[in-house]
Amino acid sequence: MTKLGILLHPERGVDAVFEEARQADQQGFDSIWLGDHIMGHGYTGSDGPLDSFTLMTALGGITTRTRLAWSMLNPTFRYPAMLAKVLATLDQITKGRVICSLGAGSVPAETNAYGISAIDDHDARVGYSREVVQLLKELWTHPAPETVSFDGRQVKTHDIAFAPAPYQKPHPPIWLGG
């Protein structure tokens, strides 16, 4: 079965991206996608980019059937356990329409400008992303009252009683890309 998604264009403005999402939902697209950048990439002046999670949450509220994904989430923008939290929350809100599409992050201008610690070495970034995926799965499949501790090379957590669990079981699909 062929599935078709559409990359939305928030650089056209909030009203335009809302209309794109509504039309994609009504026309039967399987998924809608947003970029995950905090500066640059098609945006000029004071118009953006908008925060992709805030925007995707709003889009999840005005659509009813399309899946929600990013091209690709940058794991360095959010603490890994908080990434698990926001994705699980959005999955609950949308009754299981989230796709966790994760990259390794590679735009130094964004991390440098925002003072975000970044990993310069490509292989180390991929290793970090691998640990993020491992933690996401652990948190999503061991919700409170269980606790999760993770002691990776770069990702560490201690005694997290994770809630809410995602709507999708065992967890949202995880797609990797770059």
pLDDT at site 79: 94
pLDDT in tens, the chain (178 residues): 889 999 999 888 899 999 999 999 999 999 999 998 888 765 566 667 889 999 999 999 999 999 999 999 999 999 999 999 999 999 999 999 999 999 988 787 888 888 888 888 989 999 999 999 999 999 999 999 999 999 999 999 999 999 999 999 999 999 999 7
pLDDT at site 47: 67
Beta bridge partners of 150: 157
Q: Is the pTM of this model over 0.85?
A: yes
pLDDT at site 42: 57
pLDDT at site 112: 83
pLDDT at site 1: 86
Strand-pair category, 31-34 with 148-151: unpaired
Q: What tokens appear for 3 in the block?
A: 């599935």
pLDDT at site 141: 98
DSSP-derived secondary structure for the chain: ----EEE--GGG-HHHHHHHHHHHHHTT-SEEEE---SS-SS--TTS-PPPHHHHHHHHHHH-SS-EEEES-B-TTSS-HHHHHHHHHHHHHHTTS-B-EEE-----HHHHHHHT-----SHHHHHHHHHHHHHHHHHHHHS-TTS-EEEE-SS-EEEEE---SPPSSSS---EEE--
